[in-house]
Structure 1
Amino acid sequence: MSRQRELARHLATLRREARQQSGLDEGLVPPDADTAYRIAEMVEEELGWEVVGWKIAGMKPELQRQLRTTSPIYGRVFAPLIQSSPASVEHARQCSPIPEVEYQARLGVDLPPRARPYSAEEVDEAVASLHPGIELAECRFVHDAAFPPMPAILADGAGSGSIALGEAIADWRSRDIANQEVVLNCNGALRRRGTAADAIDHPLVPLTWLANELSRTGIGLKAGQTISTGTLTGMLRPKAGETYVADFGPLGTVSATYD
């Protein structure tokens, strides 16, 4: 069995069993991002779970530095890990959980692989709805001194976990999505504020990037998939019993509880 397949099977087992580990044998760490993404596809094969969406992270240099990468990253979201708000997960079964407030774009048509890059206008037309959301990110590796290099994290799905999905935003194309302030409260106390303009420019920017990355690698996006477009409020470490409420003002609210 190749080292790539060995890592894929191991990561799939960790996901199935909702557990994590400290570090990773150097011989199993993928040598580069392209290899890591191939292993992530193998993880999908090993799990046999439906891919119902994607997550994006690290669109801007500040977050890239925090994530130890020089480019945006992406990962698969598996069924049945998209829940309607109010959502809840069992804290004890979450692996290094991080709640991230994000816009969620649901596609109405396929964006299949092709030679010509997709324009932002084409991607815009493919979006059936835009939602407020919270990504409940996870990682199969403990955040300790042995934390492995970024290619291992990419192979693990770039920290993908569950999604708490709010109601669709009415007439979102006519709203000032980029500049709408989002407020994140935890158990009623203010924790963070942010805007798409500061964090990702606009949800269509990361979405267009992902459409072209998945086109380049022969995967593509499919109608019905939901894409988590990147955190607007940074990364936090939740505790058991905490409820996070993201208030998008007139665009809606979404909540997630770590039971």
Structure 2
Amino acid sequence: MSYNNLAINNANFNLEGKLATLWFDNLLLGTGKELVEKVMEDVAEKEQWSSDTFKEMKKVQISSETLLPSISFMDESIIEDDYFKDAADVLKDKYAKELSSPKTYGGAMHEIVWEGFGIANSVKYWTLLNAKANCTFLPMDMEQQMLGKVFGSTTDMGYSNFSDIITAIIPDISEYSWDEIIEIRHHNYWTQFRKKLTELSESIEDKKLGQDILEEIVRKDLIEMAQRFRPQVTKNIVKGVVSNIPLPIPINPVSVVCTGYDIMKEIDFDKKYGWIYFYLDNKK
């Protein structure tokens, strides 16, 4: 997250920050370590985070200085002429009306220079971070347009699809406390759920289609689970004898237990189906 996004939108603590904290292992913040720590302490005290949440957040949301200790975010030396020109072109469209009038032209150009510097710096700074370690840029609208001009297109590592799907599953997630967000990160099956969404994101791009496909995958895997645990006569002679003892109920429980035990041995059940438990636990 760029300095601009943090300063203007308080992005790491709004809905975007909550979703990014869930989706990514770490959230790099484009500002200094001291400021990150100070702001986090203030928010933790104001919102009365638990001590466990505070410790976890300090591990998850970290200053980008961790990767680039020798370069400050607003370092003029990293700006290249082409980056600033592209940023200015993006902003000229934004301020087209003001630029067309002599009365507002000067003010518009002033804004273009300052905003252009910030946007160009954000994008260039991200390229330096990305050279150190593969990371995703979570841009504001103007920064996204700048990325389009410089790179054509960039990947967000499935974040957009995740955002759309998780807010469909948990519509009021924006109201969740940070204690609850961290609790989700530690859900027994969160890792499996995130992996499933990553696979989903790699195969689709349309967000609404992604939701539809997720629902279909849920149905498919639930049916598959039911089929795997369908009571059946086992091939093992001992199990066969025991499970075929007449009982006054339509399904012999021994057969069910034997079948389930065999299946658990044959497949890594949590790895294959664990994501569904996260989905069912959080679906509203």
TM-score above 0.5 = no
Larger Rg: 2
- TM-score normalized with structure 2 length: 0.22
Higher-strand-fraction structure: 1
Higher-helix-fraction structure: 2
- TM-score normalized with structure 1 length: 0.23
Higher relative contact order (Cα pairs below 8 Å, separated by 6+ residues): 1
